[in-house]
Amino acid sequence: MKRRLAVLVGVLGMAALLLMGAGCKKTDISKPDAEVLNAFDADMVEKSNDFGFNLYKNLALENENMMISPVSVSLAMEMAYNGAAGATREAMAKALNIQGIDVEQLNKNNRALIYFLTTAAPEVNLNIANSIWMVEDFKFSEVFLETVQDSYQAEAKKLDFTDPKSAEVINKWVKDQTQGTIDQIVTPPIDPETIMFLINAVYFKGAWTSPFEKELTTDQPFKLADGQTVTVPTMYQSGSFDYLKSADFQALRLPYGEDEQIAMMLFLPNEGVSLEEFQKQLNGDNWSKWISLFEQKEGSLMLPKFTMAYEKSLNQPLTELGMGNAFDAGKADFSGLAEDGTAGNIYISEVKHKTFIEVDEVGTEAAAVTSVEVGVTSMPAYDFELNFDRPFFYAIQDSESGAIIFIGAVFDPS
């Protein structure tokens, strides 16, 4: 019998401008032992970032808005990695960029990372939740279950997958963890060969350190990649920013909260350089170099408001990164998921990724826009004037751990 394993990555990313308020339920993440926290290795996070860039470039399609969460995909796939063996484990390690890392060390690092991110800043709501949903009549490995429950703080629950309401139960968990924005990740009815769902959800909501003033938002032109122009509400602010100018692009760091630990990194390719050309440069080494070169400068920023949702199956992109046999019922080896003698042919049937992001002054789609003309003649002399009026790239990163939580592209903010 061929048994199916589904890895579902439901992510909500809200880069909004509301102070964190009531009603935001967070998963209770216990503090790891000092030994685990002290052994945290940022180099492993850089490897996960590099995997994220590889996946992003594999998914990037011409002229399409998109967003993925490297942290979320890595955590979900590395939970599944704990159940892989033989050639499947080797292929997954290569694709996830974790070759040569001891799995116990990897799990401890992820345990520390989850804690560091979810406690990063009191004014930023960053919630990371993992869950395992298991069919009732299958004998799962206790070692596997204990590992993912401890290292990934995963909830583990058994369900009767033949019950039509079981998909509803899983989807309610996703809806709760994403504050109602993603309300479905499992499509009923559940395939009778499915034995487990591994799910990761990330919820982020942060207030800008320096909020935009609603009165300065104006309708401005945004030039699409095909040369056409759309008119979009565009926010404005001026002041002191961490800024970088290179031969191919300009970039700016827009932080959240008083401590500014988490920030949105905005990259605007120069005129004549397409976003596709810029994206080819995305890798861990270049990213680290760019981040080290930011300097504080005085300038002005114009940034369009945007709201977008994104959903993709990751089976093909992950296959192209080298883990194809994990999706092949005849080749996959996930014997580490099951008690000895009960494994059967377990393979990953689907990896699904859903994201959502909203960027505006007040954090709501219904915010009114007041057109106020901004006169440039009264502006002081700036080191730069940065107008995101054409396709651009963004990332949300935690500066302490180095983890990139979200990366995305805006081709059309309208």
- Check residue 365 and give its pLDDT: 22
Would you place residue 6 in the very low, low, confident or very high pLDDT band (cuts 50, 70, 90)?
A: low
Q: Where are the beta strands (DSSP E) in 105-246?
A: 124-135, 154-159, 194-206, 218-223, 229-245
* Calpha distance 207→215 (Å, rounded): 18
* Calpha distance 340→110 (Å, rounded): 27
Of 148-152, 159-163, 212-216, 343-347, the poorest mean pLDDT is in: 343-347
Summarize pLDDT for 44-90 with one digit per residue, the tens: 999 999 999 999 999 997 789 998 999 999 998 999 999 999 999 99
With a cut of 60, say whether residue 373 has pLDDT above it. Answer: no
Would you place residue 194 in the very low, low, confident or very high pLDDT band (cuts 50, 70, 90)?
A: confident
The tokens of 261 are what? 């630990």
The CA distances from residue 145 to 166, 175, 292, 345, 378, in Å, are: 20, 24, 40, 19, 63
Summarize pLDDT for 153-183 with one digit per residue, the tens: 999 999 898 898 999 998 898 888 888 777 8
Q: Find where tokens 């590889």 sit.
A: 54
- CA distance from start to end of the chain: 48
**Pair type for strands 194-206 and 218-223:** unpaired
Mean pLDDT rounded to a whole number for the chain: 85
What does the pLDDT average to over 240-244? 96
Q: Find where tokens 């692009």 sit.
A: 249
> Tell me, what amino acid is at 53?
F
Render 226-254 in DSSP notation, one character per residue.
TS-EEEEEEEEEEEEEEEEE-SSEEEEEE
Helix (H) or strand (E) holding 4: strand 2-14
* Calpha distance 236→225 (Å, rounded): 23
Give whichever of 94-108, 171-185, 199-213 has the largest mean pLDDT. 94-108
* Calpha distance 410→14 (Å, rounded): 15
Q: What is the pTM of this model?
A: 0.91
* Calpha distance 274→228 (Å, rounded): 15
How is the chain split into domains, by residue range?
2-206+308-357, 214-304+362-410
- Check residue 343 and give its pLDDT: 57
Cβ atoms of 396 and 262 within 8 Å: the answer is: yes
| CATH architecture designation of domain 214-304+362-410 | Roll (2.30)
- Check residue 220 and give its pLDDT: 96
Domain 2-206+308-357 fold: Antithrombin; Chain I, domain 2 (3.30.497)
Q: Between vectors from CA 384 to CA 303 and to CA 414, what angle results, nearest 5°? A: 15
Would you place residue 8 in the very low, low, confident or very high pLDDT band (cuts 50, 70, 90)?
A: low
Q: Where are the beta strands (DSSP E) in 282-368?
A: 295-304, 306-313, 345-359
Summarize pLDDT for 22-46 with one digit per residue, the tens: 234 566 789 999 999 999 999 999 9
- Check residue 64 and give its pLDDT: 92
The CA distances from residue 132 to 8, 97, 129, 199, in Å, are: 10, 24, 11, 6
- Check residue 38 and give its pLDDT: 95
The tokens of 21 are what? 């308020």
- Check residue 1 and give its pLDDT: 54
- Check residue 170 and give its pLDDT: 87
Q: How far is CA 274 from the centre of its chain?
A: 23
User: Cβ–Cβ contacts within 10 Å for residue 58, how many?
Assistant: 14
- Check residue 362 and give its pLDDT: 43
* Calpha distance 279→393 (Å, rounded): 8
Summarize pLDDT for 107-149 with one digit per residue, the tens: 999 999 999 999 987 778 888 889 888 888 888 899 999 999 9
Would you place residue 363 in the very low, low, confident or very high pLDDT band (cuts 50, 70, 90)?
A: very low
What does the pLDDT average to over 357-370? 44
Contacts of 378 (CB under 8 A, 6+ apart): none
Helix (H) or strand (E) holding 38: helix 34-38
Summarize pLDDT for 314-341 with one digit per residue, the tens: 989 999 999 999 888 888 888 898 888 6
The CA distances from residue 328 to 44, 350, 366, in Å, are: 28, 11, 46
> Taken in order 61, 66, 71, 75, is the CA torsion positive or negative?
negative
Would you place residue 380 in the very low, low, confident or very high pLDDT band (cuts 50, 70, 90)?
A: low
What percent of the chain shows pLDDT beyond 90? Answer: 56
Contacts of 190 (CB under 8 A, 6+ apart): 161, 162, 166, 167
